[in-house]
Amino acid sequence: MIKAISVIVVAAVISANASAAFARSTGWVSGFEWIRISKTLDKNGEMPVSVVCKDSGSKGLTNISGLAKVEIQKNPGNVAWYWAYGARVKQVKARLEKRGFKLVSFSEYRRSSGLKIPCAIWHKKK
């Protein structure tokens, strides 16, 4: 009995690690680069699973003023996803939650001006 339970626990750990082992990171990319990468994920059977964002140090508020590091995993095929950054996070949050999306990753940074810039990823089982 103990041996059977041990086998089940080991199998569960291996399964969880196999999924995590597939994860890849974008490294630090600009908003423009992340937009380009995000457009390729569905056709590659992938989805973003976590995001960290930070200030790039550039002046002004553009797609290069922030950087994001996104972890990507294989999409089991039944997860719809959505990402947003900046003011768009607040704009889409209620609508996404009403449609059944769950926030899976959130990060924010503060610009030298004091302005907080968020970035987020939501998932929903199809």
The mean pLDDT of the chain is 85
Amino acid at the residue 69: K
Q: What is the pLDDT of residues 82-111, one digit of tens each?
A: 999 999 999 999 999 999 999 999 999 999
pTM attached to this predicted model: 0.79
Q: Is the pLDDT of residue 62 over 80?
A: no
Contact 67, 56 (CB under 8 A): yes
Distances in Å between the alpha carbon of 88 and those of 73, 84, 85, 96, 98?
24, 6, 6, 12, 16
Q: How confident is the model at residue 59 (pLDDT cuts 50, 70, 90)?
A: confident
Residue 22: per-residue pLDDT: 64
Nearest to 54 by CA among 121, 115, 118: 118
Question: For residue 65, what pLDDT band results from cuts at 50, 70 and 90?
Answer: confident
Q: What pLDDT sits at residue 4?
A: 45
CB 67 within 8 A of CB 28: yes
Q: What is residue 105's predicted lDDT score, i.e. its pLDDT?
A: 98
